[in-house]
Structures are given as structure tokens and as C-alpha cells.
Amino acid sequence: MTYQPQSDFGTPAATSDAQITLTIDGRTVTVPAGTSVMRAAAEQGTSIPKLCATDSLSAFGSCRLCLVEIDGRRGTPASCTTPVEPGMVVHTQTPRLQKLRKGVMELYISDHPLDCLTCGANGDCELQDQAGAVGLRDVRYQPVETHLGQAKDQSNPYFDFDPSKCIVCSRCVRACDEVQGTLALTVQGRGFGSKISAGIASDNFLGSECVSCGACVQACPTATLIEKKVVEIGTPERAVVTTCAYCGVGCTFRAEMRGEQLVRMVPWKEGKANRGHSCVKGRFAWGYAQHQERILKPMIRGSISEPWREVSWDDALAYAASELTRISNKYGKQALGGITSSRCTNEETFLVQKFVRAGFGNNNVDTCARVCHSPTGYGLKTTFGTSAGTQDFDSVEDSDVILVIGANPTDGHPVFASRMKRRLRKGAKLIVIDPRRTDLVRSPHIEAQHHLALQPGTNVAVLTAMAHTIVTEGLVNEAFVKERCDWDEYQDWASFVSEARNSPEALEAITKVPAADLRAAARLYATGGNGAIYYGLGVTEHSQGSSTVMAIANLAMATGNIGRRGVGVNPLRGQNNVQGACDMGSFPHELAGYRHISDAATRALFEREWGVQLDSEPGLRIPNMLDAATDGVFKAIYIQGEDILQSDPNTHHVASGLEAMECVIVHDLFLNETANYAHIFLPGSTFLEKNGTFTNAERRIQPVRKVMTPLNGYEDWEVTQKLAQALGLDWNYTHPSQIMDEIARLTPSFAGVSFDRLDQEGSLQWPVNESAPDGSPIMHVDGFVRGKGKFVVTDYVPTDERTGPRFPLLLTTGRILSQYNVGAQTRRTDNVVWHEEDLLEIHPVDAENRGIKSGDWVRLSSRAGETTLRATVTERVAPGVVYTTFHHPLTQANVVTTDYSDWATNCPEYKVTAVQISPSNGPTEWQENYAKLQSSARRIAKAEAAE
Ligand code: SF4
Ligand code: SF4
Ligand code: SF4
Ligand code: FES
């Protein structure tokens, strides 16, 4: 589309069912009660001049530009703060109003630099537009005192703040408060002395509480807050709506372009997941797409000790096909496998699993969900009948009690966190179950009613103790259970949780959660109104991950918190398309739509469509592929968009598995850590260079649209197709929409999905089929997908990973807002200013016992390995617990994580590792060597780019 700014109705939409009819400039308009006169006018096509109003923020009424006249009323009220009334007669364009508005605007402009022609926002500035709209042609005043010439704050890597252009409309302050919920900005001083200030402790944005979400930049009607890229490249000429490729929130953006250059990503107001908001990653951290370290030409080598050789696409694909064929002939077809990517589109993921099943002739396909949310798939399928969260994000607006367990949404799922915080500021109650004091526990105007700081690894014990309280204190919603769940199974479960050994008091020694707190939290969840549970990897990445998911489902069913808005069980998915990767049949035992490979009827459907015979036996999971490789029976793997060496547990084991293979094909953007063991490297494309769809944590399927030509020449689905063709498969897709059509033909929950519908409707939440033609925002409304809800007894079984004299502390891991997963993308952006390295959080008591201060290098060692990193001493973690992130290959936190995994799904137990921390002189030898290698690789890449 050619460039059009997003429409702005001035004030938010009202939601009342009552309708009001009034007259504006002689035309009749009917709007919901509570609508402002400004919005009513905008909806009938009349634009009233405005500066301090915008429809993402509540009306403020400070600029006095939007004045109107209303019959029967004295004066000229501000239309943004005046609600409509029945029969009101409004005039928006009278000589009196024109004069008043011109006067107001003249005052603003008299204290504004008159440098429009050279201003970065020229042509994209509301102040400029409104000056034109009110007919201002000259400025008569020459104020003695002005704000001109004030110093710019250019500290933020992505946007500038030029106070000399500020009109103190406070849209930025309100955006930070209302939309983002960080409250980093204030208006300091009064009258002429008023100025916008970033925080109290700092005099610039970078040093303030600001988390660089960009909401203030988007809200600013002048060039005071402006993206550096707009200044550098110029204002955009066209916009393409697409979906963020970072996390499972799935924010939609307008990629605003000038020629082939991306100028900025602006959150799309109509995006149903983000409602016009974003975080720093989606809005700003896309520079990796053109990073000099991107590999754009295919490369091959005979062995991993040889240097890479650049070759043509044809040669690389022919070599890959010949190697795969040779290995299949020599070792048998079970010696091959593949890994799909949760960062790639549904269509690409579908093709990779099809390539393995139809091309290799086995089911050795797995995905990174193995290491994150596979227990969600297992647990929710078992209890409810479907492997996905139950709610849409809007649902949180109706929650009364929000229980967050094992998730850190302000860092991991920031835009959803902002929506959740908005609800909490309006009065919903909060329970946080987490070993660490996450930001959500206490943030501006929010304080958790209960923070249960449990011992890592005791989720099941805590949830069982909560269930004990609910059952033994008579707080079960029996009517719901009797109607919707299997009553016999409920009774078995109820008698299990009621046992004295499962009481909060009995389990306190294990969980370290005071029994009284736990009981109070359980009562609040059961009786506080609509109770919603949100959880993350702190639930799943445990040896009892699947049990924890089922324990959560049990709690929700017992309290009747399923099947309507405001309630539910909601996994906060990590990667942008991890839901989609699972939906598309990436697991070795399931075809698309979670249908077991052993089901003959389902197999027959796929066999007819694909023209091949499918293996009826489930294939190998990632850890089994690696084990089989070290055993010498698994020899070749195709890995699309996944750095298993960095993201999977026990790095040494992953390395020896990869090293034992004869053909490792890595298909990625960068030479990642896994590529150290690869024989063939196929360059990947970014989300900006491809068409397709992602499915977010709400089961929302959203379009990904190509905004620029792939630098490597091909979209990822094209590369997989070419590889399949080289292997002799007769694939002839010409557009990803054809792949989606095939998915829809083969997958009942996607039956009504097509690119055309997505273009028309923006997004669809599966299931989309005959019984839910418009999709399914809320699941299990009239009954569970599996029929009756299934209560499962979840006995607490302690992990085999125990602390002891050698390893007395428990390590748990997580993410930070500015970085993403293994950091391959975000480390190649300016986000590194916020997080240059992984740090180890340690409690002051544990630090003092070891003579460790903040900033010291420490050795982190476990039974699996050791690494070094710097320490930060903090009370965010409890005594006995340490915490770090895993974003930097130099730290490789997974060197220390163990092979223990979830009993049902093999999901690694990242969240509990017994470790010791001791002072260290600095990085280990391998880390130093690695750092040297990286810096020389960077130098070479820079030199090549300069040539
Ligand atoms: S920085 Fe922009 S949004 Fe904030 S008060 Fe100034 S002009 Fe308004
Ligand atoms: S970028 Fe976001 S967090 Fe920072 S000041 Fe602006 S609105 Fe607040
Ligand atoms: S919250 Fe997630 S989807 Fe949204 S902009 Fe941030 S990283 Fe992207
Ligand atoms: S837009 Fe109404 S007072 Fe500013």
C-alpha cells in the first residue's frame, strides 16, 4: 500500500451498548454512549484539529485546539473531553473557532524552531499538519523567552529527544503510563517551565527506567521524539502489514518503507494481539536483517576441520542430496532426520516435516518446542483435549485474579505484560509463583498480593498444596466439575490432594513457601472471581514439566475457571511461531493438527495427498537423534533455523552427537554455533523477506508479508522445496498460499484458513472449521475438546538433580527484555547496549560466603561442565538460588545444564541445575579462544563488506 498514516479518531472507542444520536455540522451521527464529540465527528468524516489527543490514550484536554461550539452551551468546550449527549448540536467550523484555534497554534509555533524543511519529520508531523489545518500563515509574537536551543538527548540507540521541539502535550508521558505501564516519563515544573523528563534518577533516556518500547515516540505529534532511522533515511513512502518474528505474543506491525529500505516498524493499531503496542525488539531490533555477518551464499566442506567453500545454490543442493542419498543407502533411512524452526513460517515448517516424512521415509523430525513447550502439548492435550492455550489476549481484561507461574512476562512477553499490567492497575489481584522476584511482583502501581518464592523444582508440590487447600476448604466449583469433567477421575484426584502429606504445612519444608501464604493464594484464586493462569518455561522445563501443566489444568477445572472470558490456562509461548511449529506436525509422533502417526486413517489422508507411503512408527526426538548419533546409527540431519548447540542442554553431549554425523545441513541466517559442526550451509531469509504465516500464543494465525527481496536469493520454503526436488520429490509450489491450502485440506482445525481470508480479516484463531467458521478466541466454551475434562493425579517426584556439598546452589535460567533466545538476532542490533553479557544473579548471603562482589568474575560449575561470567549481587533471588540468562555464546550457560528431562516429553530440565559458584580470574581458555575467533571473524566480515 502507498503510505497513509494510521487513522486516528482522537479518543478511544467507547464500548457501551447504548447508542446516542447527535448532529455535527448539520449531519446526524449515532455512536455508543461515552464517545467523545471529537471521535463522533471523526467517525462521520469530520476532522477536528487536535494536538494532545490521540485514540490510543484517554483524553487529556490540554492543548485547546479542538474547541467546538454546542448549541445551548456557553463557551467553547474541548471536543476531546466532551462526551456526546442525545440531541446535541455541534459546530466544528465557525469563524469564532477558527480565530481561537489560530491563536492557540500561533502561540505554539512562536516557541517552535521554524526549521520544517530540514526537520526529520517534515511531511510526517502533526504539528505541521495542524498548523496548516487551522490556516496559520504567519506568527505575530516574538516571545522574549523560548525553549529553543535546548540540548538534544541522543542517548537511546533508536530514538532522539529534542526538547526544543516539545509542545508539552504529555502524549509521551501518557503513552508510557497507559500503554506501556513503565511510568518512566514525567512533566517536571509548571507553566512555561514545564518540561518532559525521563525518570528521576537520570537526565537521559538511556539511564532512565525507559525500556525503549517506543510508545512515546509513536505518540509524539512533533519531531521531539523521533526514530533515528527516520532522520537518517527520510519519511516512509509505503507500508506493509506484517508480524513480528521475535516472541509468541505475535505483534503486528506496519513495516514502513522508503524504496527498498525499512525506515521503521510501527505497531498496527488493528493488530488483535498487540492493539497498537510493541516492545523494543519488534519495533527497533530488526537491524540484524542486514547485518554484515549474514551469510548470503551457500557453502560446503568435506569435513568440519576444512574451511568453508562458497558454491552455487545448484551445487550446494546437489551435494546435499547426494550426501543424504549416500547415507540413506549405506546406513538405512532411519539414519536421517530433520529439525523444524519455530522462527520460520507455518508453511516452511510444514514443508520441513513433509520433507523428512516423505523424502527420508521416516518420522525423525522434531522442533525446538522439544526444549520449551512440549510438556504444554502433552499436558493440555491429556486434560483438555487440545495442545494449546485456552484464551485470546483480550480475555485478560476480564480477569479478576491473575496467577503467573514460572513466567516473567515483562521480559519475555512484554506487550502482553503491558496489557496484563493495565488490568492489574485497574484492580485485578495478582499471584506470582516464581523462585525469583520478577518485575511483575512489584512495579509502579502494581504489587502482587502473593509472591510464592518456591524452591526451584517444586512446582508440582506447590500446585498440589493449593489444590489441597481448595478441596479441603470446600472451595471446589462442584457444579462445573459435575457437568464438564469426569466425576470419577475428579474424586480420585480430590482424595489424592486431600491427603495430609499434600497439605501446605506438610510440603512447606520442600517448597520453602510459608503454608499460610500458600493457603491465602489458593483461596484468592478459587474465590476471587474470574481466575486466569499464565505460565511459561518455568513450568515446562523441569523433569515434572508435563505434570505441572496437568496440575495447572486440574486447578482451573476444579475452580470452574475454563470456557469463558477472563479465565483459562495460558502458556506464554517463547518463540514467534512455536505454536505453529507444533501445529504443523513437527513432533515425531504427530502429523499436523496433533494426530498420531499410528492412526491409519490420518496417515491415509496424507499418503493420498503426498503420493508416498508413511512410516507408522513415531520417529526420534532431538535428544534421541543425538544419542543415536553418538551410538553411530544416526548420520545426517537437516536443521532449519535452530542453533541446537547453544539452545539445547548439555552442550558437550550435543557437540559430540553432531560431530559423529556425516552430513549436517544448517539452514540459517548466520554461521551459528551448530554450524561449527556442519558440512553444508544453506543461507536463510529473514521474516522481512518472505511470505507466510505465524501462529502466536493465542492460536492466532497472522500473515507475514515480504517487504524486501531476500538478500540470499530465496525464501526459506523455496530452499526446502529445491532440496526436496534435488532428492527427487515432485514438489511444485509457486507461493506459500498453496502450502497453506494443502495444510487446510489435511488439518481439520485449519480447514477454513486461507491467505485470502487472512488478507480480509487480518488474523484467525484456530480451530477455524465448519463448527467455528470465524475461528475460536476462547476454547472449551460448551465442553472440552476431549469430551469430559480429565483430572490427572500429579504426585510430586523430586528431580534427580540434587544439591549436595559439591554443588550446593540451584541454578535457574531465563531471559531479559532486550535479548532474545540465543541472541543470534538481538546481539546483532543496538540492543547490546542494555545487555552486553550474561550475568549471574546471586543472593548477598551466598555472595558474601564466597567473597563475591557485583562485577566479579565467577566460575559456574555443575556435574555437566563449567563456564565463567560476571556476578551481580541481588535480593531478586532467594538464598541458595542463582540465576542467569543464556543469550550469549561466550557464556554458553547450557554447558552446565544437565541431561535430566521431563518424564513425558524429554523437555530438558533447564530450570534446575545444582551448581557451585566460586571466584574466578576471568574467562576460561575456551571462552578466550572463542572471543578471539569471533572478533577476527568480525574483522574479516567488515573488511569484506568494505571491499
Ligand atoms: S515529547 Fe512529544 S509527546 Fe511528549 S510532550 Fe513533547 S511534544 Fe508532546
Ligand atoms: S520508550 Fe516506552 S518505556 Fe521508554 S519512555 Fe517511551 S513509552 Fe516509556
Ligand atoms: S512483544 Fe514479542 S511479538 Fe511483540 S514486539 Fe515484542 S518481541 Fe515482537
Ligand atoms: S486535542 Fe482536545 S484539548 Fe488537545
- What confidence tens digit (pLDDT) does each residue in 841-874 have? 999 999 999 999 999 999 988 888 888 889 999 9
Per-residue pLDDT reduced to its tens digit, 476-516: 999 999 999 999 999 999 999 999 999 999 999 999 999 99
Per-residue pLDDT reduced to its tens digit, 19-39: 999 999 999 999 999 999 999
Per-residue pLDDT reduced to its tens digit, 716-730: 999 999 999 999 999
Q: What is the 3-state secondary structure (H, E, C) of 685-751?
A: CCHHHCCEEEECCCCEEEEECCCCCCCCCCCHHHHHHHHHHHCCCCCCCCCHHHHHHHHHHHCHHHC
Q: Does any ligand 2 atom lie closer than 6 A to the CB of residue 214?
A: yes
Using the predicted structure, report yes or no on whether residue 648 has a pLDDT greater than 80: no
Q: Whose CA is nearest to atom 8 of ligand 1?
A: 169
Looking at residue 52, its pLDDT comes to 96
CB 182 within 8 A of CB 210: yes
User: Quick one: which atom of ligand 1 is closest to the CA of 175?
Assistant: 3
Average pLDDT over residues 96-119: 88
Average pLDDT over residues 368-373: 72
Average pLDDT over residues 556-571: 96
CB 242 within 8 A of CB 252: yes
Q: Does any ligand 3 atom lie closer than 6 A to the CB of residue 278?
A: yes
Amino acid at 32: P
Looking at residue 202, its pLDDT comes to 67
Amino acid at 74: R
Using the predicted structure, report yes or no on whether residue 194 has a pLDDT greater than 90: no
Ligand 4 center from residue 135 Cα (angstroms): 17
* Rounded (10°) angle between helices 622-630 and 651-659: 60
Model pTM?
0.91
Q: What is the 3-state secondary structure (H, E, C) of 475-513?
A: CCCHHHHHHHECHHHHHHHHHHHHCHHHCHHHHHHHHCC
Looking at residue 940, its pLDDT comes to 52
Residue (of 367, 368, 435, 369) closest to 912 by Cα position: 435
The residue among 801 and 793 whose pLDDT is bigger is 793
Task: For residue 277, give the ligand nearest its CA.
Answer: 3
Q: Does any ligand 3 atom lie closer than 6 A to the CB of residue 244?
A: yes
Q: Does any ligand 4 atom lie closer than 6 A to the CB of residue 67?
A: no
Per-residue pLDDT reduced to its tens digit, 199-238: 766 678 998 899 999 999 999 999 999 999 999 999 999 9
Residue (of 797, 822, 804) closest to 913 by Cα position: 804
The residue to mutate among 56, 109, 128, 169, having the most atoms of ligand 1 within 8 angstroms of its beta carbon, is: 169
Q: Does any ligand 2 atom lie closer than 6 A to the CB of residue 176?
A: yes
Q: Both ends of the chain: CA-CA distance in Å?
A: 36
CB 265 within 8 A of CB 286: yes
Looking at residue 606, its pLDDT comes to 97
Q: Does any ligand 3 atom lie closer than 6 A to the CB of residue 214?
A: no
Q: Does any ligand 2 atom lie closer than 6 A to the CB of residue 184?
A: yes
Using the predicted structure, report yes or no on whether residue 945 has a pLDDT greater than 50: no
Instruction: Give strand ranges (E) for 33-88.
Output: 69-70
Looking at residue 200, its pLDDT comes to 67
Using the predicted structure, report yes or no on whether residue 543 has a pLDDT greater than 90: no
User: Quick one: which atom of ligand 2 is closest to the CA of 179?
Assistant: 7
Looking at residue 820, its pLDDT comes to 73
Amino acid at 264: R
Using the predicted structure, report yes or no on whether residue 939 has a pLDDT greater than 60: no
**pLDDT tier for residue 369 given thresholds of 50, 70 and 90:** confident
Q: Is 153 helix (H, G, I), strand (E, B) or coil?
A: strand
Residue (of 126, 108, 113, 149) closest to 6 by Cα position: 126
Average pLDDT over residues 57-78: 95
Query: On the CB side of 552, how many CA atoms lie within 13 Å of its CA?
Result: 33
Amino acid at 926: W
Looking at residue 895, its pLDDT comes to 73
Average pLDDT over residues 419-442: 94
Distance CA 498, CA 78 (A): 61
Instruction: Using the CB atoms, write b or e for 903-937: b if 16+ within 10 Å.
Output: bbbbbbbbbbbbbbbeebeebeeebeebeeeeeee
Kindly state the greatest CA–CA separation across the chain.
92
Q: Whose CA is nearest to atom 4 of ligand 3?
A: 251
Using the predicted structure, report yes or no on whether residue 267 has a pLDDT greater than 60: yes
Ligand 2 center from residue 210 Cα (angstroms): 5
CB 9 within 8 A of CB 25: no
- The mean pLDDT of the chain is 91
Using the predicted structure, report yes or no on whether residue 97 has a pLDDT greater than 90: yes
What residues pair up with 108 in beta bridges, in sequence order? none
CB 466 within 8 A of CB 555: yes
Average pLDDT over residues 591-619: 95
Question: How is residue 355 annotated by DSSP?
Answer: I
Residue (of 749, 712, 733, 678) closest to 355 by Cα position: 733
Using the predicted structure, report yes or no on whether residue 368 has a pLDDT greater than 90: no
Distance CA 852, CA 872 (A): 9
Per-residue pLDDT reduced to its tens digit, 435-459: 989 999 998 889 999 999 999 889 9
The fraction of the chain above a pLDDT of 90, given in percent, is 71
- 482 Cβ neighbours under 8 A, 6+ residues apart: none
The residue among 260 and 362 whose pLDDT is bigger is 362
Ligand 3 center from residue 888 Cα (angstroms): 20
Using the predicted structure, report yes or no on whether residue 934 has a pLDDT greater than 80: no
The residue among 824 and 736 whose pLDDT is bigger is 736
Using the predicted structure, report yes or no on whether residue 941 has a pLDDT greater than 90: no
Q: Does any ligand 4 atom lie closer than 6 A to the CB of residue 66?
A: yes
Residue 12: exposed, middle, or buried by beta-carbon count in 10 A (0-12, 13-18, 19+)?
A: middle
Using the predicted structure, report yes or no on whether residue 540 has a pLDDT greater than 90: no
